[in-house]
Chain A
């Protein structure tokens, strides 16, 4: 665990009396792709929102690059290099594509290389370069997801969290997005956490995995070593 870029230790979080995440331990190494799998309501999004500063933890610790970031506000965590691509893209619909991307370089730390990063994003997603002045609200689901990824990359993150990136998209678009994620990981050595419900796709894309069930980690391991029966049992809790 000591070489982990992101280290979650005994983390719990919830909503009022309801405990959504209970005593979770999770680690992500530099340049590693980790998938976080689980059925609806397993606590995946709450866990990652807590890590990203969008939700207050009840107890436990989050270390990023060896630094304690537990309970820090989201803007401070983004500035440290940990970004979240929220579920459904969540673009700023009345802003142009370019302004959406520039929002990603909002933290002071990301502004220095923003121009080069923007060019790199247009190279990574050529479609976005063609529609930079179009309001993001006029884009398709896949295009919005690309904007959301590009926006997160603008912050020059060391670790990216993708929250159910394939939700509501066609298989062809999902394949394309997963190829881009792989490229980001390989070219930038960016650590990636994929929150997914699609077990097979997540395992195929990741180096390691965690299965969550009822707010706890039910199973974890290397993606290429797990057999489907064990995984199925952990996933459904049977």
Chain B
């Protein structure tokens, strides 16, 4: 793995051609495992969860860690996507693909509509407002007869895809999400987003169109979260208001990003792997899992504020999937 030492800097960056080769090899190996059913169904279930949590956490990290828009309402996209897939497949007898597309469409439309209210707020007010909007939608779905009110809906996909097929789709979405965040951060828009995170007023003063940037990143996050959530809930087979619109989704994403490393592309990958295995282990202690996850999050904030990846990068002096730009010509 090539380590490029930068002039005037003590950070080495692992983003050269060998790093790309390692990434391609790892992704190819995962595709091979899924396609050839080399792993057991149980292992593939874990893999699906990891891929989908990486996708959703990557998007929360893009919003919070890179743009400074800390949303506490990611469950809105998850619930909307779940219900869209359920309506499309169970009520309208459409394919899973159409259902996922519908989920993305509905989430994006709602995100665009919410922009009119939410983008007038910043910081804590934005966070609370996103949570409140998600709660309102939960109550709406609780009282909506067409979607089964509090009992929710079963998701009947015909023909039901095989587990390795779901695994391939989840992996593809995950790779696209990581690549989208990585490449987005290296563009001029990405530069604007990180500037907004550091100082929104100064970003505006140098010419960043704050509204358009917020709209763009919020819509991208809504779309990817919706498609990942759609696949997730198909795998569960049921969606109801208290599960689809539960704040626990966002709590999971916060845990993954904080533990993995906020503001790093590698953080959500590490965090998601830890979260899925920890969740499985903590299932033996019903009632305690959220307390333990919360305690780990607080301890991480206290003792590893940059998360695992952020701390490792700092201690060892390297960065994986760095969003830094190294020369003017390269960035253009």
The answer to whether residues A103 and B8 also contact, given A75-B209, A98-B325 and a CB cut-off of 8 A, is no
Q: Which of A75, A84, A98, A130 has the most CB of B within 10 A?
A: A75
Q: In the complex the two chains form, what is the Cα distance from A151 to B328 in whole Å?
A: 14
Residues on B with beta carbons closer than 8 Å to the beta carbon of A93: 198-199
Nearest CB in chain B: distance from A4 CB, A:
22
The residue of chain A having its C-beta at the shortest distance from the C-beta of B188 within the complex is A106
CB of B206 within 8 A of CB of A106, answer yes
The answer to whether residues A92 and B11 also contact, given A115-B328, A151-B206 and a CB cut-off of 8 A, is no
CB of A104 within 8 A of CB of B325, answer no
Residues on B with beta carbons closer than 8 Å to the beta carbon of A104: 206
Q: Is A215 an interface residue (CB 8 A)?
A: no
Contact mask A39-62 → B, CB, 8 Å, 1/0? 000000000000011100000000
Q: Is B99 an interface residue (CB 8 A)?
A: no
Nearest CB in chain A: distance from B68 CB, A:
10
Contact mask B181-207 → A, CB, 8 Å, 1/0? 000000010011011011101111111
CB of A75 within 8 A of CB of B208, answer yes
The residue of chain B having its C-beta at the shortest distance from the C-beta of A73 within the complex is B209
The answer to whether residues A90 and B201 also contact, given A79-B207, A96-B324 and a CB cut-off of 8 A, is yes
Q: Is B284 an interface residue (CB 8 A)?
A: no
Number of interface residues of B (CB under 8 A): 30
Q: In the complex the two chains form, what is the Cα distance from A78 to B202 in whole Å?
A: 12
Nearest CB in chain A: distance from B274 CB, A:
24
Residues on B with beta carbons closer than 8 Å to the beta carbon of A53: 204
Q: In the complex the two chains form, what is the Cα distance from A196 to B3 in whole Å?
A: 48
Q: Which of B8, B201, B203 has the most CB of A within 10 A?
A: B8
Query: At the interface with chain B, which of A131-139, A187-195, A198-206, A226-234?
Result: A131-139
CB of B207 within 8 A of CB of A92, answer no
Nearest CB in chain A: distance from B144 CB, A:
39
The residue of chain A having its C-beta at the shortest distance from the C-beta of B324 within the complex is A96
The residue of chain A having its C-beta at the shortest distance from the C-beta of B66 within the complex is A94
Q: In the complex the two chains form, what is the Cα distance from A54 to B203 in whole Å?
A: 11
Q: In the complex the two chains form, what is the Cα distance from A94 to B195 in whole Å?
A: 9
Q: Is A212 an interface residue (CB 8 A)?
A: no
Q: In the complex the two chains form, what is the Cα distance from A115 to B330 in whole Å?
A: 12
Q: In the complex the two chains form, what is the Cα distance from A47 to B9 in whole Å?
A: 40
Q: In the complex the two chains form, what is the Cα distance from A104 to B192 in whole Å?
A: 10
Nearest CB in chain B: distance from A141 CB, A:
15
CB of A106 within 8 A of CB of B8, answer no
Contact mask A103-124 → B, CB, 8 Å, 1/0? 1101100100011001000000
Number of interface residues of A (CB under 8 A): 37
Nearest CB in chain A: distance from B321 CB, A:
16
CB of B9 within 8 A of CB of A133, answer yes
The answer to whether residues A114 and B209 also contact, given A75-B204, A134-B8 and a CB cut-off of 8 A, is no
Residues on A with beta carbons closer than 8 Å to the beta carbon of B202: 86, 90-92
Q: In the complex the two chains form, what is the Cα distance from A217 to B198 in whole Å?
A: 34
Q: In the complex the two chains form, what is the Cα distance from A106 to B326 in whole Å?
A: 17
Q: State which of B6, B207, B325, B326 has its C-beta within 8 Å of the C-beta of A75.
A: B207
Q: Is B263 an interface residue (CB 8 A)?
A: yes
CB of B205 within 8 A of CB of A102, answer no
Q: In the complex the two chains form, what is the Cα distance from A28 to B195 in whole Å?
A: 30
Q: Is B331 an interface residue (CB 8 A)?
A: yes
Q: State which of A115, A134, A155 has its C-beta within 8 Å of the C-beta of B206.
A: A155
The answer to whether residues A78 and B207 also contact, given A102-B328, A118-B328, A133-B8 and a CB cut-off of 8 A, is yes
CB of B195 within 8 A of CB of A131, answer no
The residue of chain A having its C-beta at the shortest distance from the C-beta of B197 within the complex is A94
Residues on B with beta carbons closer than 8 Å to the beta carbon of A26: none
CB of B209 within 8 A of CB of A103, answer no
CB of A86 within 8 A of CB of B205, answer yes
Q: State which of B9, B191, B207, B328 has its C-beta within 8 Å of the C-beta of A134.
A: B9
Residues on B with beta carbons closer than 8 Å to the beta carbon of A103: 191-192, 195, 203, 206, 208
Provide a sorted-by-A list of 8 A–B residue pairs whose CB atoms are within 8 angstroms.
A95-B195, A96-B324, A98-B325, A99-B325, A106-B207, A107-B207, A133-B7, A133-B11
- Which residues of B are in contact with A by a Cβ distance under 8 Å? 6-9, 11, 188, 191-192, 194-195, 197-199, 201-210, 263, 324-326, 328-329, 331
Known: A78-B207, A86-B205, A115-B328. 7 other contacts (CB 8 A): A75-B204, A96-B324, A99-B325, A103-B203, A114-B328, A130-B8, A134-B9
The 8 closest A-B pairs by CB, nearest first: A133-B9, A78-B207, A92-B198, A90-B202, A107-B207, A106-B207, A75-B207, A74-B204
